């Protein structure tokens, strides 16, 4: 591999959350000796910065100091403003304020002699100027230059978010007031839901005036809250009306359905009026992305409706975190039926329990039937349970010699087994084979904990000391979805079955060794229930085994 390819391979590991593996590869490939490439020179600092962000508070300053030294070495060798401003930032986080400001001032002078290209280059140039002023304590000029930066590349929201997160990190040094950053935040994200209704004599009707009032209220909220991204389904009535108003406001619409189009239309659109069907197709055609949580054309139930809603909510939260903005929920709701297994009331409860802001537009009048029709779910009996699944194995196990296997079992599998056995009642099913492990837990938070505990346990083992090769690495895959719990005819024990189990098994083999990859539904559910403890960062679509579709995966990391 060329140095550039080696550099990109380290970045891939970093983005996958495999920090230890990234550090090992950085030294193994000799990238610490490169002296003529600013990006590669800065990589040592970036690795230490990543470790600092994930470390305990008591270690942060020392790691920031080490990162500052690495960045400064790169800055001294190349004179680049990228490594210069990162040197200043790490010096500030290390508590070396005087040197941080001296470096920032030097970088500021360098930027005056540079003419950036239009677009992203110009944005980062002005963002560097803004960061330099922020480190120098001149927040008024930082604000002015950040305003200019965003005007030069106004829709590059990922870049804006990166800058905002850097300012927030720097502000922790002296508890600086950064409320002025809020006006620079990208548009907000929105999860939406509401009651089903029909028109003109269809089931659960609302009159024209009520529907007009709902539409106006929806559009007003979307515009006033600066909503840029919306996530939800397209049942007749509230869902379609909200999606239409979001598209009218030029928001990006992401469609999440519990089942394929034909079955969804049959159960949640057509019964409330044929005119809703054409509106369904029009909204779907305008959607930025479309997701189906089940491929079953024959049957859907409350479980998949709830699963789809959780995924839609989680997607809104994940997008907001990525963009350093705020997620909201918009409901057209009568505030009844709080014990429903699926639908608007359940969505409201799940979102509220996470302590996030809701916008509730009252349902105009109660036209719903006593059976509960009119919500965005059928009252069907769930035949499955939502479970979190974890697959794990040790990369390199097959290369061990026969004499090494007993050591592996005693020094590696035994500590991992102890780790698993501490999970208590949250661990519902367990299966092992060789170095392989399959766990089923009652929640994604429990699954995230056992996965991170297993990875930490493995990392604490000194492979060289116990006489095993250092290429051994634990890889873990996680998934969340509806499964059938049934008795296995071979073992006579209760086990889990279904397409979601098969999907879960596909993740671990493509996981970067030393990291934890999880599916999008897992990441969404975790963002809803334990965002303050864990974070999931997208690693994009990962090629699966031959003949299988690429998987959209996330790296799971402890905050």
Residue 200's pLDDT band, with cuts at 50, 70 and 90, is: low
Residue 310 pLDDT greater than 90, yes or no = yes
Q: Which of 445, 311, 308, 316 lies closest to 388, judged by CA?
A: 445
- Rg (C-alpha) for the chain, rounded Å, is 26
pLDDT at 174 over 50: yes
pLDDT at 202: 52
The rounded distance, in Å, linking the Cα atoms of 26 and 47 is 9
pLDDT at 410 over 80: yes
What is the model's pTM?
0.86
Only one residue has tokens 């193994």, namely 28
- Give domain limits for the chain: 3-184, 188-362, 385-558
Q: What is the per-residue pLDDT across 439-457, written as a single tens digit (0 to 9) for each?
A: 999 999 999 999 999 999 9
Top-level class of domain 385-558: alpha beta
Comparing 29-38, 40-49, 100-109, 202-211, the range with the smallest average pLDDT is 202-211
Question: What CATH topology corresponds to 188-362?
Answer: Rossmann fold (3.40.50)
Number of Cα atoms under 13 Å in the Cβ half of residue 152 = 20
CATH 1.25.40.10 for domain 3-184: yes
Report d(CA 459, CA 413) in Å as an integer.
Answer: 13
Q: pLDDT at residue 381 above 90?
A: no
Exposed, middle or buried by CB within 10 Å (0-12, 13-18, 19+), for 173? middle
Q: How far apart are the first and last CA of the chain?
A: 33
Mapping DSSP to helix (H, G, I), strand (E, B) and coil, where does residue 172 land? coil
Range from 50-54, 368-372, 378-382 that averages highest in pLDDT = 50-54
What pLDDT digit, counting tens, does each position of 283-309 carry? 999 999 999 998 877 777 888 899 999
């Amino acid at each position: 591999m060329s140095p550039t390819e080696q550099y990109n391979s380290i970045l891939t590991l970093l983005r996958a959350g495999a920090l230890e593996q990234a550090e090992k590869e950085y030294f193994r490939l000799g990238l610490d000796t490169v002296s003529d490439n600013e990006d590669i020179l800065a990589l040592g600092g970036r690795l230490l910065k990543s470790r600092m962000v994930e470390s305990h508070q008591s270690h942060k300053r020392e790691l920031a100091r080490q990162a500052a030294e690495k960045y400064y070495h790169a800055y001294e060798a190349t004179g680049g403003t990228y490594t210069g401003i990162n040197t200043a930032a790490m010096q500030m986080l290390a508590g070396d304020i005087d040197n941080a400001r001296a470096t920032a001032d030097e970088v500021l002078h360098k930027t005056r002699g540079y003419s950036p290209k239009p677009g992203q280059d110009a944005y980062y140039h002005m963002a560097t100027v803004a960061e330099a002023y922020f480190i120098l304590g001149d927040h008024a000029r930082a604000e002015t230059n950040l305003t200019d930066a965003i005007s030069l590349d106004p829709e590059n929201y990922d870049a804006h978010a990166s800058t905002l997160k850097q300012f927030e990190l720097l502000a922790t040094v002296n508890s600086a007031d950064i409320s002025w950053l809020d006006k620079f935040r990208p548009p907000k994200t929105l999860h939406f839901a509401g009651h089903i209704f029909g028109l003109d004599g269809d089931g659960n009707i609302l009159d024209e005036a009520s529907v007009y009032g709902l539409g106006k209220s929806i559009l007003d909220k979307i515009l006033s809250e600066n909503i840029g991204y919306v996530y939800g389904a397209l049942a007749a009535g509230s869902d379609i009306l909200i999606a239409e108003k979001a598209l009218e406001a030029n928001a990006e619409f992401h469609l999440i359905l519990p089942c394929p189009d034909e079955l969804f239309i049959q159960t949640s659109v057509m019964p409330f009026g044929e005119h809703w069907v054409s509106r369904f197709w029009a909204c779907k055609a305008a959607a930025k992305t479309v997701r189906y949580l089940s491929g079953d054309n024959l049957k859907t139930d409350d479980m998949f409706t709830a699963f789809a809603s959780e995924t839609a909510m989680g997607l809104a939260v994940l997008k907001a975190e990525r963009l350093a903005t705020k997620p909201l929920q918009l409901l057209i709701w009568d505030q009844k039926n709080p014990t429903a297994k699926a639908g608007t009331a359940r969505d409201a409860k799940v979102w509220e329990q996470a302590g996030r802001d809701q916008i509730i537009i009252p349902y105009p009048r109660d036209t719903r039937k006593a059976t509960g029709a009119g919500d965005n779910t059928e009252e069907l009996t769930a035949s499955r349970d939502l479970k979190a699944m974890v697959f794990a194995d040790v990369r390199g196990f097959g290369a061990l010699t026969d004499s090494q296997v007993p050591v592996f079992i005693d020094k590696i599998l035994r500590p991992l087994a102890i780790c698993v056995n501490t999970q208590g009642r949250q661990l519902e099913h367990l299966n092992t084979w060789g170095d392989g492990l399959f766990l089923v837990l009652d929640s994604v938070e429990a699954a995230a904990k056992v996965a991170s505990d297993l990875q930490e346990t493995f990392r604490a083992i000194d492979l060289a000391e116990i006489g095993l090769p250092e290429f051994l690495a634990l890889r873990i895959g996680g998934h969340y979805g509806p499964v059938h719990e049934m008795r296995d005819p071979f073992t006579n024990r209760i086990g889990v079955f279904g397409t979601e189990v098969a999907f879960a098994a596909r993740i671990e083999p493509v996981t970067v060794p030393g990291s934890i990859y999880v599916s999008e539904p897992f990441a969404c559910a975790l963002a809803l229930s334990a965002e303050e403890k864990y974070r999931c960062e997208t690693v994009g679509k990962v090629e699966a085994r031959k003949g299988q579709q690429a998987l959209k995966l996330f790296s799971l990391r402890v905050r």
